[in-house]
Amino acid sequence: MRKGVVLVWLVMLFCTGITGCNKKEGGTTEAYNSKKPLTISVFTIQQKQQPPADNKIYKWIKEKYNVDFTWDILVGDKDQKIGVLIASGDYPDLVEVDSTKFQDAGALIPLEDLIEKYGPNIKKHYASAWKKMTEDDGHIYCLPNWGVLDGRDQSTYYGDSALWIQKDVLKEFGYPQVKTVDEYFDLIEKYVKKYPAINGMPTIPFTILTYDWHDFCLINPPNFCAGYPNDGNGTVDKIDGKWTYRDFLNQDISKRWFRKLCEENAKGIIDKSCFVDNYDQYIAKLSSGRVLGMHDQRWQFNDAMNALDVAKMHDRTMAPLPVVFDESITPHYRNRSLPNIRRGFGITTKCKDPVRVIRFIDAQLDEETQRVLHWGIEGEDWQYDADHHPYRTQEQRDEQKDAAWILRNKADLWYQTAPKMEGSFSDGYACEMNYIPSEFLADQKTEDVELWKAYGVSSDAELMDRDPPENTPWFPMWQEVPPDGSETQLALNKCSQAYRKYLPRIIMGKPEDFEKNWTEYAKALDDAQIDKYNAFMQEKLDARIEKYGSK
């Protein structure tokens, strides 16, 4: 027994000796050390499925970098889950940041020093956005997931706000020019008169998504129709020589839009049940191909568009239009690419080896890995043709849209939120293979190509705006969110209760009652103390102008 105990002690001493004598990792430009395995635990708010263990790209990452991931995927209410995570203090290594909650709770570590020492690629990639990424306390807590471009922007995707219209409506009337709100609704009315039913079910001319936090679809249209970009719940104008922020809820532009909706409702154009539907019911309506028009942002109804494609009803999918109130207004729907500040991964205080994590993120920013993450494995997901031009076969293109295939063959959860190359690779090809012109047009449906040709453009993005104007220095104001528990947030909450209550009444009311209903609504907004929100945003606007200058 004695001998056994001594032996055990000797072995233990030996082991501690070995590990203790390992040279501490130092140096700055040392290559990523893939000898030790690293498991990164991640909390993500993307509501997707867990990737299977045999996922092709995660295996590739494991082979190359000896890194694998454990995912804590959000189920249920995002704010509640984040609240519980913060209250417990039990953070994983990385969390997906989408607000100031984690930062305020002191859960994130500052990254700028780590990046300076161990992340040269990261520093280079974010050079243009470095100032905006730095918070007021001088630290960087989050690595933006999208919007920081390397090289030329070749995107053909338009995913922002627009007044969407069913492609068949445009086709039916020979692809007319639809520039104003009146023209938009006239076209829809004409189509509904001609086709009161689609596939046996009644046509829905115009619907609105009003459920829960999606209700920005209800209040946003006037902002864009008046030619303002997306600055949150208000507009920035130069009033008396000073840049002023005013919420648009009670401006004339909103009154104009909702008066139009009220008139359209009297003609039976507005889908009445949209005020009680939830998000799933909205998507279901869109997926049935009966909806002719709505105002929304593309990423919100992506599922419906995919469902229509699966059902081979591509002519019933939606095309975006930059509609404004009248010809005198220049539309400003599309913007130049913006770094998606405060949205991306942050490293938590509970991460045991932040240096290795930064090293890994830095290493995966190299072109070869990025090509695998974006395009896939050469020979399996894409290949070069005889002219050394990358292309995909039709089968490979279909795979890229199949959710089940993506789950097994793309590192989607990591790729969507991690720092990535965007724009173009060094060989000139777009980072997103879909944007390579030959790939893009080959993969488009004939209806789309026809539509774009009729309007003289080559993509949805160009349809909205061929060359968007430069962003104002303070853009986008929607990033300024009132801090939790503040009076401003309370005021905003009460305002949302007010507009959720009165706007449906205004729209569904009689046109004669419009003025009366609007006055009631305006009073409710005042009672909700919306000027507190305006004061807060003005303060933030002034701070931004000071930091980044004004036009």
In whole angstroms, give the CA distance from residue 1 to residue 119: 53
Q: Which of 49, 199, 278, 393 is the binder for other proteins (CB under 8 A)? A: 278
Task: Determine the 3-state secondary structure of 38 from DSSP.
Answer: strand
Q: Is 107 in the site for other proteins (CB under 8 A)?
A: yes
Q: Which of 74, 313, 407, 490 is the binder for other proteins (CB under 8 A)? A: 490
Which C-beta is closer to other proteins: that of 97 or that of 430? 97
| Contact status, residue 126 vs residue 144, Cβ threshold 8 Å | yes
Tokens standing for residue 346: 């942050």
Q: Which of 130, 175, 195, 211 is the binder for other proteins (CB under 8 A)? A: 211
At residue 393, what is the residue type?
T
DSSP 51: P
Which C-beta is closer to other proteins: that of 128 or that of 278? 278
- Residue 15 C-beta: closest distance to other proteins, Å: 37
At residue 259, what is the residue type?
R
Tokens standing for residue 19: 């590990």
- Residue 502 C-beta: closest distance to other proteins, Å: 8
Number of residues that bind other proteins (CB under 8 A): 35
Q: Which of 25, 77, 252, 380 is the binder for other proteins (CB under 8 A)? A: 77
Which C-beta is closer to other proteins: that of 158 or that of 518? 518
Which C-beta is closer to other proteins: that of 212 or that of 240? 212
Q: Which of 484, 482, 472 is nearest to 538 (CA)?
A: 482
Tell me the per-residue interface mask from 185 to 204 with other proteins, x by CB under 8 A, - otherwise: -----------------x--
Which C-beta is closer to other proteins: that of 124 or that of 267? 267
Q: How many CB atoms lie within 10 A of CB 205?
A: 25
- Residue 375 C-beta: closest distance to other proteins, Å: 40
Q: Which of 127, 276, 449, 543 is the binder for other proteins (CB under 8 A)? A: 276
Positions of E strands within 4-99:
38-44, 67-73, 94-97
Q: Which of 252, 484, 513, 539 is the binder for other proteins (CB under 8 A)? A: 484
| Contact status, residue 167 vs residue 316, Cβ threshold 8 Å | yes
Q: Which of 234, 217, 211, 228 is nearest to 293 (CA)?
A: 217
Which C-beta is closer to other proteins: that of 101 or that of 343? 101
| Contact status, residue 431 vs residue 425, Cβ threshold 8 Å | yes
| Contact status, residue 541 vs residue 474, Cβ threshold 8 Å | yes
Which C-beta is closer to other proteins: that of 474 or that of 536? 536
Interface of this chain with other proteins, residues 215 to 234, rule: CB under 8 A: 215
| Contact status, residue 521 vs residue 499, Cβ threshold 8 Å | yes
| Contact status, residue 182 vs residue 199, Cβ threshold 8 Å | no
Tokens 């009220």 sit on residue: 262
Of 29-37, 38-46, 207-215, 324-332: span binding other proteins (CB under 8 A): 207-215
Which C-beta is closer to other proteins: that of 409 or that of 517? 517
Q: Which of 352, 451, 374, 479 is nearest to 419 (CA)?
A: 374
Which C-beta is closer to other proteins: that of 85 or that of 178? 85
Q: Which of 124, 272, 389, 466 is the binder for other proteins (CB under 8 A)? A: 272
- Residue 204 C-beta: closest distance to other proteins, Å: 9
Q: Is 182 in the site for other proteins (CB under 8 A)?
A: no
Tell me the per-residue interface mask from 34 to 73 with other proteins, x by CB under 8 A, - otherwise: ----------------------------------------
For the chain, the maximum distance between any two Cα atoms, rounded to a whole number of angstroms, is 100
In whole angstroms, give the CA distance from residue 351 to residue 348: 6
Q: Which of 357, 358, 360, 374 is nearest to 424 (CA)?
A: 374
In whole angstroms, give the CA distance from residue 334 to residue 467: 9
- Residue 533 C-beta: closest distance to other proteins, Å: 14
Of 34-42, 78-86, 308-316, 426-434: span binding other proteins (CB under 8 A): 78-86
Which C-beta is closer to other proteins: that of 84 or that of 127? 84
Cβ-Cβ contacts under 8 Å for 334 (sequence gap 6 or more): 158, 160, 322, 461, 464, 465, 468
In whole angstroms, give the CA distance from residue 292 to residue 311: 17
Q: Is 275 in the site for other proteins (CB under 8 A)?
A: yes
Interface of this chain with other proteins, residues 83 to 102, rule: CB under 8 A: 83, 86-87, 89, 101
Altogether, the residues listed in the chain come to a count of 551
- Residue 389 C-beta: closest distance to other proteins, Å: 50
Interface of this chain with other proteins, residues 494 to 523, rule: CB under 8 A: 494, 497, 499-501, 503-505
- Residue 202 C-beta: closest distance to other proteins, Å: 7
Tokens standing for residue 415: 């790729």
Which C-beta is closer to other proteins: that of 190 or that of 505? 505
Which C-beta is closer to other proteins: that of 232 or that of 419? 232
| Contact status, residue 226 vs residue 324, Cβ threshold 8 Å | yes
> Looking at the DSSP assignment, which residues form a beta bridge with residue 347?
94
In whole angstroms, give the CA distance from residue 96 to residue 491: 27
Interaction site with other proteins (CB under 8 A)? 77, 79-80, 83, 86-87, 89, 101, 104-107, 202, 210-211, 215, 272-273, 275-276, 278, 281, 484-485, 489-490, 493-494, 497, 499-501, 503-505
